[in-house]
Structure 1
Amino acid sequence: MNEKLVAILILVALAKPVLAGNSDRTITAVRVDPPIVLDGFVNEPEWQRAPPALDFTQFDPVEGALPTEVTSVRILYDDHALYVGVICYDARPGEVVPQLTRRDRTSEADRFTVQIDSYHDHQTAFVFSTNVSGVQSDGVLSQDGNVYDITWDAVWNVKTRWYIDGWSAEFEIPFNAIRFSPQRGESYEWGINFRRYISRKHETVEWVIVPRTEKLQIPHWGHVQGIKDISPPLNLSLIPYLSGTSMFESSTGGVPARSSHEALAGLDLKYGLTRDFTLDATFNPDFGQVEVDQAVLNLTVFETRFPEKRPFFVEGAQVFAFGTSVDNTSLPLFFSRRIGKRPSLAFSVAPPPGGSIEENPLVTTIIGAAKVTGHSGSGLSVGVLTAATDREKAVIRDSQGNRSEVMTEPEGSYNVVRIKQDMKGNSWFGGMATFASRAHTLPAFSGGFDWNLRFSQGTYTLDGFIAGAHSSATVTKRDGLAGKILFSKIRAEHWLYTLSYDFYTRYFNSNDLGFFAQPHDHGGYVQLGYRETQASGILRRYSFSVVPEARWNWDRVQTLGLIDATWSADYTNFWNTVLEYKLNLRAHDDAERGIIGIYRRPSSHSIIASIRTDERRNVIASLTTEYDFDEKKRRTFSTFLSLTLRPASWMELTPLAYYERTRNLETGVFSGGRIVSVSYAGGLYSLFAQRDLDELDVAMRGIITFTRTLSLQFYSQVLLARGKYDDYKLLLSSRQFVQQVAPSPGYDFNQIVFNANLLLRWEYLPGSTLYLVWTQGRFDNVGDYSRPFGTRLQDAFKLPHEDVLLLKVSYWLPL
């Protein structure tokens, strides 16, 4: 009797699916010697010695139903690697959906995923996935399986094959790609789960299904047994690199065009200090970002947070997360982009009359960085990171040709320590400390404790943190505290709720090495939600929630009063809609938002609607529209459209467009990163006006994939924004103004930003990569609001520009 027939009989015989809680399900791994030949065919005699896992259950579209296709999984191992062989049977193999794309990109294709909790801590896991085209994806699950970090990369291999009954795959996962504690004299037991996705049916099946009503994922997986007489490898690998960078700046304002060229060599090192802890170090690193940040219009006093993209800091970033809770918020005491940031005084450099700026570095050079991360057998997680940055100088030439240097960033040292101890019931308690020191400035410290405590078999959680910071700011008061406490029911069939309170004292500032960009205030919210995961009719599932929230400053002035109601639904045609209504009650802006004194904001209403079409199609659309209005006759309309186009299985294009139109907004006049202040009657007051705003942001992302290891990515963006201020006035009190003559020149603006990025990526050997990158940036701002977007768009390619060309080659050298 063949395997497929056996599997069908098993499925028919199943009276009920294996749901969360039945985590006693096991699969046995069998030792092989010599190792199998990795070719994608699961037909060697060794595979037949391993018992198969056959009984999968639907997770989607019908949770708990029997799968429509048969899946078989077997596991082998030797001294060096774990091998997973999977056969994805399909009654219509010609309809299996392929897609060729770059590693770690989500693809709409048939795929199979292996998830391994090798620490067996029920909180973290390593993920290895392939689609039918053999495109690899890997990452790390944390927070019980609710947070996925796809930026983690390991060196492993997989081969796939099509054949008459479907497709198959062979995974080779070296033991140095995962982490586990040594087990002496006994066999290892690791958590494991398998997931298969059938694209044309939008069907996901799992070996052990964890229902959507379960917040905890990893604790309910099955286990792999039978692995013994192996040890965690004390691996050592080196990745030397060579890079060359050329920068070109076009002439502007009478300053002639200039160019610069730089060649670098450096080394990355990974070394297993013990069976539990690994050292990552980098010497003379090339930390230039190969992908540009998206340009945004920021008309607030708060800093915009851009994501980290540098591999050294991206890998293992979840270890250094602090204050994370089930509402997906955190307090970033460590924000890695502070290391190697743009020099603090770079914008203040100005040439003397008749002179010029010859050099003005855009980033701070990182001399070296190192981190130690790991997880002990007792459940202790540790992360230690240190980095040193060099002194940066701008070079200025005066009218006589004399050169001089101006320091724009002093030498710096940055250090982080993070520990977290697992506890019973999938709970944990942790601590963190940071220290930043720069020459000629005061040192800065921050630290705190955080926790995640689970009760009643994971039904309830008590999350929170308490933290303090001592900043380097040259002010009298440099110390502050922050804290949060959250209680939530996270496991239920229908009704869920959350109660949360947090605070940030007046002088809390963790920005020397962290990220804090919000008011110093306190407040909380209550969330009540209802969900139906197995709906009927045209609905597959839906949810509804109501969230009242209120906040106050430390003078007992209310700064936020909000009621938010949201409805979300998934349909049987695999479309999704979201409807949201927000009522902002009258509240106040204060000094935390850049205001001198107090300003009472009018009450306002927001209506938001979004729709997303079936993600299996070659054309996917997502549309979000919002309409806002307040009691002072402000009106805002905005819409965001995203399309995904797949003209071929090896090409994907994503055009994006955002448009916003605001009329008659009463607001502070914003210029140079702050709200303008004006002297009046012996005092200083904030300047207000009625602002009209138009914004158009158009972008295009795309990827062409030539092979599994060779791809070309591109990104371009044009951001157009113009604002006009009328009816100027000074804010005397929360509701009292005095009219002000329009200043000359005014504060109207008409901005254009153009960014372009082209990235050729070739993984010519496992772990070894060649990058060829081109980026271009253009920017212009004039005060003429009347110039329409069409004219400004024509100006884009006439503007001065800066081009960067980068070639980088790295080579993975395992020792």
Structure 2
Amino acid sequence: MNSIRPLFSIILFLLIGTFQVYSQKKTTAFRVNESISIDGKLNETVWEKTSIANNFIMLEPENGVPESTERKSEVRILYDDNAIYVGAILYDNEPSKIEKEITQRDNFGTADHFGIFINGFNDGQQDFRFFVSASGVQMDCLATENGEDFSWDAIWNSEVKITDYGWVIEMEIPYAALRFSKENVQTWGVNFFREIRRFRQKVTWSKIDRAVSSFINQAGILEGIENIKTPTRLFLIPYTSGYIESNNNDTESTFKAGMDIKYGINDSFTLDAILVPDFGQTAFDNVELNLGPFEQQFNENRPFFTEGTDLFSKGNLVYSRRIGGPPSASPSISENETVETYPNTVNLLNALKVSGRTSEGLGIGFLNAITEKTYARIRNNDTNEIREELVEPLSNYNILVFDQRFNQNSSVSFINTNVTRFGDFRDANVTGIVYDINSKGNKFNISGDLKMSSIYDDKKGNGYSTYINFGKTYGKYRYSIASQYVSKDFDINDLGINFITNYHNVAANFNYRILNPTKRYNSFRLNANYYIELENTTGKAQDHWINMNINSSTLKNDFIGYGFLVSPFVTYNFYESRVPGRPLAFPATANAWIYFSSNYNRKFALDVEPSVRIFDQENRLNYGLFVSPRYRFNDKLTLIYSTNYNRQNSDIGWVDFSENDIILAERNRTTLTNSISGKYAINNKMTLNLTTRHYWSFAENVQFHTLLEDGTFTPNNNYTNNKDANFNLWNFDLSYSWWFAPGSQITALYRNNAQNFSNEINKSFGSNVGNVFEDNLNHVFSVSLRYFIDYNKAKNWFKKV
């Protein structure tokens, strides 16, 4: 026991750390009784009566330097019973050079920006951030130290004016877009942000020290707001949409109608619900030819599952694509039967979530979703009779999170996910505790988790995972060391995603960064990493490497990065063989890369990244090249082209089983992806958007092998099945979007797509492009209308009737 006390004292000292006091700026809001016109002019006399927030400090590139007197910033705050009003004058001695590209909402583009960051509880934990560009485009997000969530959209009003001395911003932010306590006297955390794009300068009113890893708790204070009431936060967003889908087989039309509901249960918590959801206009997935043992993971594009989900991401236990994803079961068929149709997705019937945070820092999140029964159609080859088999029953998905924040920089969370499938189908439950604790001076961090999974099916079993990380998070030199243990039966795949289990690892990182520009660099960061992962049962190394990389930006704001990764010893892949306990030996490797990204402020910009990977195996070599030029014709029109070429020579992977043998293929694989994206902004409320992608990948087998017990392999000249693969995929989206009123949008989308797969290799690029267009191209045209209704305004409509 005595030997533990000194260690405990050291850890306690590191966690308490060196107490660092930030001198907080203060500004005062002034109550207004007259109407404020949001026109970007600040011509109401009341603006002159309120205090000015000025003397901004540079965030980057020269952290801590006062803003230029030629480009000074002044901000004023007014408020009434319904909203706060922000007036900002951003001086610029060269107003003609203010960048003002017009983009879609939440896309910053190449433009100057102004933003206000509001923390209604002044707890240093979460900001509501509202930005507007010099072209008048709005961006908003929820921000924590884990990042910014721009899928969150609030309803607020803004207007900008370019003047002969700079530009002026006027904003109206209703209280319904914020969260704050019921206290008569409000004290909010606040910061103001400005980006001067042509210099790549960012300045803030309250100084943010980049040597400190935590930014939100370095905000200033907004005082003066008194005797306001939290409004009724009830928003109804009815929608209607129509689809016409056509291909060589037939043409179908579909009409949908539903509603999203957002209701503020109290000043802290919000209920979001979708009734009869429609996700038909979400972005397409970048599907690839998948020859590996694991499923391809896709981004979540459905707004309900991306907006305000910071609480639900705690512990990385949720992969929301599981909800409404492929069925969980496969049909059982006899020798004379064929699966005629197997659905790729399961229909989502409805979903709701409740989330928020109390004034004591307790965050609570609850998400529930229900999916419908789903059947596969099976044909009897002898009689042609069709039968249906249930592959996904009525299913219920639940996520529950409690997240307690404290000390303005730390948190402990409890997470539970549960999937209940009705009938004799698999159920699952996962529970986790996650902690993230920082010293008072934000100089040291200790974080980690403890998780348990429980599966309820024929196998029934519990699995465990635990992780711990300790690091220095302050200054130019930082480091961390971490370790994780995952048991064999740990399985979160019913509502989360994990690929490998039954291992333990150790990871270490050291990094150096400059905090202010030097004679050569605006930014510079060097990372050195070490990682080793051992399989629990055999003790064999599954992964073992050392890496060093550098990321930097020059004084001309061109970005350059390069690095290498070396895995000096043989490791073992326990999953490629598709047979538990049969590893495939993976040779020692070394790979290197370099990337260059020129300054996007220029009309023409270019991204380039070549890479190479060599193997301690005869003829085995990977290399690739990514090139993406972009051209901004003017503030309205931008086009981006990208091409990505990758070649894998003598790659080794599983292809089949033959009697008791595991058959591997030595194959040459080529992948070429071409994409074009572009936008034409008619104005800051109306845009045309283009996204198109052609993906082509083929794998040609040059030699088959048999996997041996020790993980090596030997040639197999008896196996003759054709396991070559040639895969093409085409996607095209052209959309028109008009935000015709706050929160209300009309979107028209034309989409076509097709894919083909063959075991016959065709190495002609032109033929592959032609074939995919001939292979039953699917056309979809859809129009969607969403209209935002605020209860506070709607009730006045009825009073006038």
Give the TM-score of the pair, scaled to structure 1.
Answer: 0.90
* Residue from 427, 430, 452 that aligns with 2:410: 427
In structure 2, the CA distance between the partners of 1:580 and 1:339, relative to structure 1 (3 Å rule), is: same
Tell me the alpha carbon deviations over residues 366-411 of structure 1, each in whole angstroms, 9 at most, x when there is no partner. 2211111111011100001111111123567889997654434221
Aligned match of 1:333: 317
Cα 1:519/1:626, change in 2 over 3 Å: farther
CA distance in 2, matches of 1:594, 1:750: 22
Per the TM alignment, residue 176 of structure 1 is displaced from its structure 2 partner at its CA by 0.6
Alpha carbons of 1:260 and 1:396: their partners in 2 closer, same or farther (altered >3 Å)?
Answer: farther
The superposition leaves residues 227-246 of structure 1 with CA deviations (integer Å, 9 ceiling, x where unpaired) of 11012223111111112223
After alignment, is 525-534 or 54-63 more displaced? 54-63
Alignment check: 8 A CA contact 2:407 2:440 kept: no
Asked if 2 retains the 8 angstrom alpha-carbon contact of 1:268 and 1:282, the reply is yes
1:578 aligns with 2:561: yes
* CA displacement, residues 141-185 of structure 1 (integer Å, 9 cap, x when unaligned): 112xx411111101111001112211101011111111122114x
Of 80, 83, 88, the residue aligned with 2:82 is 80
Q: Residues of 2 paired with 1:521 and 1:248: CA distance?
A: 49
TM-superposition CA deviations, 1:290-343 (whole Å, max 9, x none): 2111223333212222111111111111121122xxxxxxxx212221111133
Deviation at 1:544, TM superposition (A): 1.4
Matched, 1:630 2:615: yes
Give the alignment of 1:30-429 within 5 angstroms: 30-68=30-68, 69-143=71-145, 146-184=146-184, 187-250=185-248, 257-323=249-315, 332-344=316-328, 361-394=343-376, 404-424=387-407, 426-429=409-412
Equivalent residue runs for 1:701-712 within 5 Å = 701-712=677-688
Tell me the amino acid that sits aligned with residue 199 of structure 1.
R
Asked whether the 8 Å contact 2:30–2:49 carries over to 1, the reply is: yes
How big is the shift at 1:704?
Answer: 1.4
Post-superposition CA distance 1:469-505 (Å, at most 9, x none): 1135x4525321111100010112x211000111221
Cα distance in 1 for partners of 2:342, 2:759 equals 27
Q: Does residue 648 of the first structure (1) align with residue 634 of the second (2)?
A: yes
How does 1:536-555 map onto structure 2 within 5 Å? 536-555=518-537
Contact 2:572 2:711 in 1 (8 A): no
Matched-pair contact (CA < 8 Å) for 1:343–1:392: yes
Letter in 2 for 1:720: W
Distance in 1 between residues matched to 2:658 and 2:487, nearest whole Å? 28
Percent identity over the alignment?
Answer: 26
**Aligned amino acid, residue 424 of structure 1:** N
In the alignment, does 2:763 pair up with 1:787? yes
Deviates more, 1:299-308 or 1:414-423: 299-308
Q: Aligned partners of 1:100, 1:270: CA distance in 2, in Å?
A: 29
Unaligned runs of 5+ in 1: 1-19, 251-256, 324-331, 671-675
Q: 1:375 to 1:619 in 2, by over 3 A?
A: same
What one-letter code is carried by the residue in structure 2 that aligns with 1:618?
Answer: K
Superimposed CA distance per residue, residues 244-278 of structure 1 (whole angstroms, 9 cap, x where no aligned partner):
2232232xxxxxx1232222221211111122111
* Aligned pairs, number: 764
Pair 742,73 (structure 1): closer, same or farther in 2 beyond 3 Å: farther
Contact kept? 2:61, 2:516, Cα under 8 Å: no
Q: CA deviation at 1:569?
A: 2.0
The answer to whether the 8 A contact 1:42-1:87 is kept is no
Aligned mate of 1:610, from 588, 592, 595: 595
Indicate conservation of the 8 Å contact 1:728/1:741, yes or no.
yes
Aligned to 2:469: 486
Moved more, 522-531 or 287-296: 287-296
Distance 1:643 1:431 in 2: 45
Contact in 2 for aligned 1:346/1:361 (Cα 8 Å): no
Match of 1:14 in 2: none
Question: Match for residue 661 of structure 1?
Answer: 647
The question of 1:501 aligning with 2:487 is answered no
**Within 2, Cα distance between the matches of 1:351 and 1:814?**
59
Match of 2:797 in 1: none
Check conservation: 1:101, 1:651, Cα contact below 8 A.
no
Aligned equivalents of 2:763 and 2:333: distance in 1?
31
* Cα contact 2:547–2:565 (8 A) shared by 1: yes
2:513 alignment partner in structure 1: 531
Q: Residue 520 and residue 231 in structure 1: after superposition, are their counterparts in 2 closer, same or farther (change >3 A)?
A: farther
Shift, 1:347, TM fit: 9.3
Distance between the aligned counterparts of 1:205 and 1:407, measured in 2?
Answer: 59
Q: Distance in 1 between matches of 2:310 and 2:233?
A: 22
Contact 1:550 1:561 in 2 (8 A): yes
Matching residue of 1:9: none
1:754 maps to amino acid: W
Within 2, Cα distance between the matches of 1:216 and 1:421? 17
Distance change >3 Å, CA 346–CA 778, structure 1 → 2: farther
For the pair 1:689 / 2:665, whether they are aligned, the reply is: yes
State how far apart, in whole Å, the 1-side matches of 2:326 and 2:243 are.
18
Extract unaligned runs of 5+ from structure 2. Answer: 1-19, 792-801
Say if 1:797 and 1:155 are closer, same or farther in 2 by CA, change over 3 A: same
On the 8 A contact 1:425/1:454 being kept in 2, the answer is no
Contact 1:560 1:585 in 2 (8 A): no
User: How far is the alpha carbon of 1:348 from its aligned partner?
Assistant: 8.8
1:797 is matched with which residue?
773
Query: In 2, Cα distance between the equivalents of 1:511 and 1:609?
Result: 35
Q: What is the rounded CA distance, in whole Å, between the counterparts of 2:231 and 2:333 in structure 1? A: 51
| TM norm structure 2 | 0.91
Report the 3-state secondary structure (helix = DSSP H, G, I; strand = E; otherwise coil) of the residue aligned with 2:464. strand
2:441 aligned to 457, 460, 481, which one? 457
Structure 2 contact 125–408 (Cα < 8 Å) conserved: no
Q: Which residue identity does 1:685 align to in structure 2?
A: D
Distance 1:350 1:66, change over 3 A: farther
Task: Give the match's secondary structure for 2:666.
Answer: strand
User: Is 1:467 equivalent to 2:451 in the alignment?
Assistant: yes
1:442 maps to a residue whose letter is R
Letter in 2 for 1:92: E
Contact 1:23–1:221 (CA under 8 A) maintained in structure 2 = no
Aligned to 1:733: 709
Aligned mates of 2:23, 2:294 — CA distance in 1: 46
User: Deviation of residue 622 (structure 1)?
Assistant: 1.3
1:811 has 2:791 as partner: no
More displaced stretch, 300-309 vs 590-599? 590-599
In 2, the alpha carbon distance for the partners of 1:286 and 1:233 equals 29
**Cα distance in 1, alignment partners of residues 759 and 28 from structure 2:** 71
Matched residues in 2 for 1:736 and 1:236: separation? 64
* Residue 289 of structure 1, CA deviation: 4.4
Q: CA deviation at 1:30?
A: 0.5
Counterpart Cα distance in 2 of 1:709 and 1:352: 58
> Following the alignment from structure 1 to structure 2, what is the Cα–Cα distance between the partners of residues 209 and 594?
55
In the alignment, is the contact (CA less than 8 A) between 1:351 and 1:396 conserved in 2?
A: no
Decide whether aligned partners of structure 1 residues 135 and 617 sit closer, same or farther in structure 2, where only a CA change above 3 A counts: same
Q: Counterpart of 2:426 in structure 1: which amino acid?
A: L
State the alpha-carbon separation in 2 of the partners of residues 67 and 195 from structure 1: 12
The CA distance in 1 between the partners of 2:449 and 2:83, in whole Å, is 39
Distance 2:565 2:125 in 1: 35
* Matching residue of 2:16: none
Inter-CA distance 245–396: structure 2 relative to 1 (3 Å threshold): farther
Aligned residues of 2:489 and 2:501 also touching (Cα < 8 A): no
Structure 2: which amino acid aligns with 1:752? N
- Quote how far apart the aligned CAs of 1:578 are: 0.9
